Amino acid sequence: MAVGSAYVRRGDGTYVTSLEPPVLFEAPSFVVDFQRDTSVLELLRVRGILEPAAAAMAAEVITDEQVQELRELLDRLGPRPDVDALVANDLEFHRRISACSGNSALCSLLGSLSGPATRARLCRSVVQRGGTERRLAEHRAILDALISRDPDVARSWATVHIASVEHDWLASLL
């Protein structure tokens, strides 16, 4: 079965015929959709490593236009979004930050780590635990760090944000 420039042979393996980041990281994305609780936790921990790096890189190169687009994205959400709106906004917010990093490999890898199904589960756990306002405030803090072009603060807020999501996820399992 062909997947872009990656070929999957059932029982044999996945063969990548291109080293372009979107193609290279396309094959692992099917693994990410497993919905076991341990898989979600493992993905969050990988995101906790990569997303702060992407935010720090973005802070160094983000343009005024990109900042404005992120601000408008968050403003469109409103103070009390439903789960579907929160999921869509969250996916787009993090996608745009990774794209702003200027590193296509990092952007592709982060894109493959957490699809809409996984994000929906995470956002539902956040909403159920009353964490929507906190999550939105964390997004604003990341944006503020990007606006100030401060990579250390952007990295710190992204770390706090992913740790907060992980905490809410674990608490929802109890």
Long-range contacts of 126-129 (CB under 8 A, 24+ apart): 126/86, 126/165, 126/168, 127/83, 127/86, 128/172, 129/168, 129/171, 129/172
More confident residue, 36 or 174: 174
Sheet containing strand 13-16, edge to edge, reads: 2-3, 6-9, 13-16
What's the predicted TM-score (pTM) here?
Answer: 0.78
Instruction: Give the model's pLDDT for residue 43.
Output: 84
The domains found in the chain, sorted by start residue, are 1-32 (no CATH), 34-173 (1.20.120.530)
Using DSSP bridges, classify how beta strands 13-16 and 6-9 pair: parallel, antiparallel or unpaired.
Answer: antiparallel
Q: Are 55 and 97 in contact (CB under 8 A)?
A: yes
When mean pLDDT is compared over 30-39, 137-146, 161-170, the highest value belongs to 137-146
What is the rounded distance in angstroms from the CA atom of residue 9 to the CA atom of residue 12? 5
Q: For 58-116, how does the pLDDT look when each residue is reduced to its tens digit (9 = 90+)? A: 999 999 999 999 999 999 998 788 888 888 898 899 999 999 999 999 999 998 886 76
